[in-house]
Amino acid sequence: MKLTGAEIIWECLIREGVDVVFGYPGGAILPTYDAMTKYPQIHHVLTRHEQGATHMADGYARASGKVGVAIATSGPGATNMVTGIATAMMDSSPIVCITGQVGSRALGTDAFQETDVTGVTLPVTKHNYLVTKTADIARVIREAFYIAKSGRPGPVLVDITKDAQQLTAEFDWEAAAPKLPGYRPNLRALPTEYERALELINSAKRPVILAGQGIKLSGATAQVLELADTARIPIAVTLLGLGVVPASSPFNLGMMGMHGEAWVNQAIQQADLLIALGMRFDDRVTGNLKTYAPHAKKIHVEIDPSEVNKNVHVDVPLIGDLREVLEELLPKVRTSDRGEWWAKIAEMKGDSAVRDIQALPDNGHLYAAHVINDLWRATKDRDTIVVTDVGQHQMWEAQYYRHEKPRSLITSGGLGTMGFALPAAIGAKFACPEKDVWVVVGDGGFQMTSCELATAEQEGIKVNVAIINNAFLGMVRQWQEFFYEKRYAATPMTGPDFVKLAEAYRLNGLRCDKRAEVNSTVKAVLADKRTTVVDFVVEQEDAVFPMVPAGADLDAMIRRPKREILAESGADKEWQMPNGESAAVSELTLTGGPSKAASVPAAKRKPAPSLKKKSAETSKKSSRPVVAKATKAGKRR
Amino acid sequence: MPKHTLIAYVEDVPGVLNRVASLFRRRNFNIDSLTVGRTEQAGVSRLTVVVDATDAGARIVEANLYKLVNVLRVDDLTHKPALNRELGLVKVKVTAATRSQVLEFVDMFRARVVDVDEESLVIEVTGTPEKIGKFEMVLRPYGILELVRTGSVSMARGHDKLSANPPLVRAEVAASAADDHSHAGVSMSV
């Protein structure tokens, strides 16, 4: 059957199971958009920026496990995609980007809207293609989907010249099967390595499982829980691993790394065996590599051989699909109770100031952690996906929202892309229209891509946006506070009236600045059919605790500041050891950590430079950083 | 920094050399030399890359090369019996008095004179990169006008044929780094 290149593109997408694409038209992709009118079975979402299209495709992929598709024109359309492609690359997210290119005869002439897009995206794609012949389109698109979703997933870009879209060729789906002799995505571990791994697991006294998002990507949650249960091994999770094992599992200690809980990092540092599952020892989870888990042998289960021994020396690499590897191992893992190790962990847990903000009574101030915790309580019985942006709110979400299911948290981990959340949430909503999708976003990141509110409005979909608004680039400000003597260079930030902004887009806008109102606000959001933006006005100079300063030893954490008010609260009694005994958390000590910054009395803190109008107000009950609270309806509103 | 000789079979498609070179650039490995040429198989090219790297670093390079979709096979010949050959062309100044001395060196190095001029000779020399370096050294006093080297090409000794499509899967690529921690402990980004 003879078809134009543009028609072949759509025929291929339909056969790949695509039902929605995110894109933005332009001259060099116009033949494809023109042909789109013949294929109503694929829904096209017009975004407001090509970056938004890639984040939407990414959010769609992360929520559904399918390949997300983004379309753009040549030149600026394609270069606008780069941030979204790099985000997908760092987090192993399968997306296919299709871009138009100038006509093949104009290639290399610096024609209007010409950019060497394959050159530009080479380092941030798993693979990319420049297609100049109509006859190649079908095979290339099939290969692109296969590469994107197999092995370690990742983004693939297909750049197609305008004439290749316009001319016709024979379309034969079967004949266009991928021809990739050099691509071997599913490598297998050697049998000898299984034996070495089993020896280490069965003889370890203080093992810890490090759970990454590879567990989600290979669907190995049940196998990981079985391993933990059989061998009584505690699980520490990475940021992208949140949800791959339920937060409520007694084996799940919580998040590791820079903003993980202290006992999780202590457990890793004291472990004699780390079983790393689908994670890559990012510098945000290891701290100082020279002192990282010094007593531990390391088993690394990983599908990408180039990740093994990249950052951390590994004793036993198990290369392959995580689920297959675990299924091979599990029958031979010995049961054990490891009572001493669990007692030690309970002791370390007792030493830490646990989830203390949750236990704080309402003192009239709204803390971001309140918002997250109350949001969790209000939404935990609903099928909810939370999409976060990057910064303090992202870490608070990771700490205080308890994810029970894989794919219930979508966040930009590796690249740390501000502006990711809103478009990714729109993509996630298209993947899972039956679920509630919440965006947790800072006032800074929200302003980077808030134009996509118009996309939500035009599509008539509902995403719920919780802006954690502290009128600061909060995480950068926190670093300035801790490591740059509070010189708040370029971090105080004004924004629009977010309620009015939402209304300007014909959407619903709400504001909340009291803890007592969080719950009712969430209810009001859920009751409205439209996309709703809530401006949660929170404490400006609150910091994320605990924290491992970049490059410090993993257990050298800046602890939460002393908060006398917690003495009687006995925070977090919910945690139990896997044997059902209650862990010894009654003697909760809440001593301040080694940080000088954290113990600076609040009264000494200066208001932010550009916020001078606002009076410094401190709470005597708490030494929490409570400064520059906006008491007047100033610029912030 | 020790040198490693890696060979890679790659598909002969546009942009593949760029992908390989870009990988080295991105990972901050310094390429000492890189040569590409055809092989006995249609559509398959062979690269020889000499790179400054420790054993652990070379293993990372190897694993990263394997990630490139167009790369069919990678082998590290550094610690194997292998032939390394390079071609050099040297244009050297001569006078009536020095010509015979230069020709003596040409003879010693089993090189060949490929162009003769009143005041210069162009000499072709092949051999290990070390031999060509030596040849350059002995001619330098006469005045080297131009010198060009191709970079190394390498092949394992012995009868076995290295197939571009090996049945083996190099899952052990990154394994057995044993006591080589040289790549671990890189400085952290903040």
Give residue-wise pLDDT tens across range A57-71.
999 999 999 999 999
Give the least confident one: A216-225, A337-346, A459-468, A593-602: A593-602
Q: Are A237 and A252 in contact (CB under 8 A)?
A: yes
Q: Do strands A20-23 and A436-442 pair parallel, antiparallel, or not at all (unpaired)?
A: unpaired
pTM of the model: 0.89
Give residue-wise pLDDT tens across range A300-315.
999 999 999 999 999 9
Amino acid letter, A176: A
Count Cβ atoms below 10 Å from residue A189 Cβ, excluding itself: 23
Instruction: Give, in order, the Cα–Cα distances in Å from B49 to each of A181, B3, B84.
Output: 21, 10, 11
Give residue-wise pLDDT tens across range B102-116.
999 999 999 999 999
CB contact under 8 A, B165 and A181: yes
Question: Distance from A404 to chain B by nearest Cα, in Å?
Answer: 31
CB contact under 8 A, B69 and A127: yes
The pLDDT confidence band at residue A541, using thresholds 50, 70 and 90, is confident
For residue A442, the surrounding DSSP H or E stretch is strand A436-442
- Give the torsion through C-alpha atoms of A529, A533, A537, A539, to 10 deg: 100
Q: Is B175 on the interface with A (CB under 8 A)?
A: yes
Task: Output the pLDDT for position A636.
Answer: 41
CA angle A187–A190–A191, rounded 5-degree value:
135
Share of chain A above pLDDT 70, in %: 86
Task: Output the pLDDT for position A430.
Answer: 98
Burial class (CB in 10 A: 0-12, 13-18, 19+), A505: buried
Q: Is the dihedral of CA A65, A441, A245, A83 positive or negative?
A: positive
Amino acid letter, B72: L
Amino acid letter, A462: K
| Cα distance between residue A24 and residue A19, in whole Å | 17
| Cα distance between residue B85 and residue A383, in whole Å | 65
* Count of CB pairs separated by less than 8 Å, A with B: 92
Question: Which chain B residues are within 8 Å of A305, Cβ to Cβ?
Answer: 63, 66, 170-171, 173-174
Q: Is the pLDDT of residue A633 over 50?
A: no
Residues 6+ apart with CB under 8 A from A277: A209, A210, A211, A212, A214, A215, A220, A224, A301, A322, A326
CB contact under 8 A, A130 and B170: no
Please list the alpha-helical segments (H only) found in A80-166.
82-90, 117-121, 137-149, 162-166
Amino acid letter, B189: S
| Cα distance between residue A453 and residue A432, in whole Å | 18
- Give the torsion through C-alpha atoms of A322, A326, A328, A332, to 10 deg: 160
Task: Output the pLDDT for position A624.
Answer: 37
The strand pairing partners of A317, in sequence order, are: A300
Per-window interface: B 93-152 vs A, CB < 8 A: none
Question: Distance from B86 to chain A by nearest Cα, in Å?
Answer: 28
Task: Output the pLDDT for position A598.
Answer: 34
Task: Output the pLDDT for position A578.
Answer: 58
Instruction: Give, in order, the Cα–Cα distances in Å from B161 to each of A143, A584, B23.
Output: 30, 65, 27
Question: Distance from B44 to chain A by nearest Cα, in Å?
Answer: 11
- The partner residue sitting opposite A310, judged by closest CB among B60, B73, B169, is B60
Question: Which chain B residues are within 8 Å of A189, Cβ to Cβ?
Answer: 171
Instruction: Give, in order, the Cα–Cα distances in Å from A578 to each of A242, A478, A612.
Output: 19, 36, 52
Please give the order of strands across the beta sheet that includes A43-46.
Answer: A43-46, A20-23, A68-72, A95-101, A156-161, A127-131
Count Cβ atoms below 10 Å from residue A591 Cβ, excluding itself: 10
Higher pLDDT, A589 or A50: A50
Question: Distance from B25 to chain A by nearest Cα, in Å?
Answer: 10
Residues 6+ apart with CB under 8 A from A108: none
Please give the order of strands across the beta sheet that includes B44-52.
Answer: B31-38, B44-52, B3-11, B71-76
- The partner residue sitting opposite A182, judged by closest CB among B64, B72, B171, is B72
Please give the residue of chain B at the shortest CA–CA distance from A182. B72
Question: Distance from A307 to chain B by nearest Cα, in Å?
Answer: 8
Got the DSSP string for A197-260?
A: HHHHHHH-SSEEEEE-THHHHHT-HHHHHHHHHHHT--EEE-TTTBTTB-TT-TTEEEE-STTS
CB contact under 8 A, A312 and B184: yes
Q: State phi, psi for B8 to the nearest 5 degrees.
A: -135, 130
Question: Which chain A residues are within 8 Å of B188, Cβ to Cβ?
Answer: 283, 288-289, 550-551
Task: Output the pLDDT for position A563.
Answer: 53
| Cα distance between residue A585 and residue A40, in whole Å | 59
Tokens, residue A313: 């020396």
Q: Is the pLDDT of residue A586 over 60?
A: no
Task: Output the pLDDT for position B98.
Answer: 96
- The partner residue sitting opposite B189, judged by closest CB among A118, A122, A283, is A283
Instruction: Give mean pLDDT, residues A551-571.
Output: 66
Give the residue numbers of A marked as catalytic: 50, 112-113, 162, 475
Q: Is the pLDDT of residue A180 over 60?
A: yes
Task: Output the pLDDT for position A7.
Answer: 98
Task: Output the pLDDT for position A49.
Answer: 98
Q: Are B113 and B123 in contact (CB under 8 A)?
A: yes
Task: Output the pLDDT for position A395.
Answer: 96
Q: Is B188 on the interface with A (CB under 8 A)?
A: yes
Q: Is the pLDDT of residue A416 over 60?
A: yes
Q: Under DSSP, is residue A263 helix (H, G, I), strand (E, B) or coil? A: helix
| Cα distance between residue B154 and residue B47, in whole Å | 9
Burial class (CB in 10 A: 0-12, 13-18, 19+), A345: buried
For residue A55, the surrounding DSSP H or E stretch is helix A50-64
Count Cβ atoms below 10 Å from residue A343 Cβ, excluding itself: 14
Question: Which chain B residues are within 8 Å of A309, Cβ to Cβ?
Answer: 56, 59-60, 174, 177, 183-184
Instruction: Give mean pLDDT, residues A410-439.
Output: 98
Q: What is the 3-state secondary structure (H, E, C) of A298-359?
A: EEEEECCHHHCCCCCCCCEEEECCHHHHHHHHHHHCCCCCCHHHHHHHHHHHHHCCCCHHHH
Count Cβ atoms below 10 Å from residue A576 Cβ, excluding itself: 13
CB contact under 8 A, A317 and B22: no
pLDDT < 70 regions, chain B? 163-190
Task: Output the pLDDT for position A567.
Answer: 39
Give residue-wise pLDDT tens across range A99-146.
999 999 999 999 999 999 999 999 999 999 999 999 999 999 999 999
| Cα distance between residue A367 and residue B22, in whole Å | 46
Q: How far apart are the first and last CA of chain A?
A: 61
Task: Output the pLDDT for position A353.
Answer: 53
Q: Of B45, B76, B188, B190, which to mutate for an interface test with A (greatest number of A Cβ within 10 Å)?
A: B188
| Cα distance between residue A496 and residue A508, in whole Å | 15
| Cα distance between residue B45 and residue B163, in whole Å | 12
The pLDDT confidence band at residue A190, using thresholds 50, 70 and 90, is confident
| Cα distance between residue A51 and residue A426, in whole Å | 13
Q: State phi, psi for A219 to the nearest 5 degrees.
A: 65, 45
Q: Under DSSP, is residue A82 helix (H, G, I), strand (E, B) or coil? A: helix
Q: What is the 8-class DSSP label of residue B35?
A: E
Give the least confident one: A118-132, A228-242, A464-478, B35-49: B35-49
The pLDDT confidence band at residue A542, using thresholds 50, 70 and 90, is confident
Question: Distance from B139 to chain A by nearest Cα, in Å?
Answer: 42
Task: Output the pLDDT for position A188.
Answer: 86
| Cα distance between residue A369 and residue A395, in whole Å | 10
CB contact under 8 A, B174 and A130: no
Question: Which chain A residues are within 8 Å of B76, Cβ to Cβ?
Answer: none
Give the least confident one: A164-173, A186-195, A354-363, A419-428: A354-363
Question: Which chain B residues are within 8 Å of A288, Cβ to Cβ?
Answer: 188
Burial class (CB in 10 A: 0-12, 13-18, 19+), B166: middle
Tokens, residue A560: 């939460």
- The partner residue sitting opposite B177, judged by closest CB among A183, A190, A313, is A313
The pLDDT confidence band at residue A588, using thresholds 50, 70 and 90, is very low
For residue B34, the surrounding DSSP H or E stretch is strand B31-38
The pLDDT confidence band at residue A562, using thresholds 50, 70 and 90, is low
The pLDDT confidence band at residue A356, using thresholds 50, 70 and 90, is low
| pLDDT, averaged across chain A | 88
Q: Is B184 on the interface with A (CB under 8 A)?
A: yes
Q: Are A188 and A320 in contact (CB under 8 A)?
A: yes
Question: Which chain A residues are within 8 Å of B165, Cβ to Cβ?
Answer: 181
The pLDDT confidence band at residue A558, using thresholds 50, 70 and 90, is confident
Q: Under DSSP, is residue A579 helix (H, G, I), strand (E, B) or coil? A: coil
Within 13 Å of residue A432, how many CA atoms lie on the same side as its CB? Answer: 25
Give residue-wise pLDDT tens across range A5-29.
999 999 999 999 999 999 999 999 9
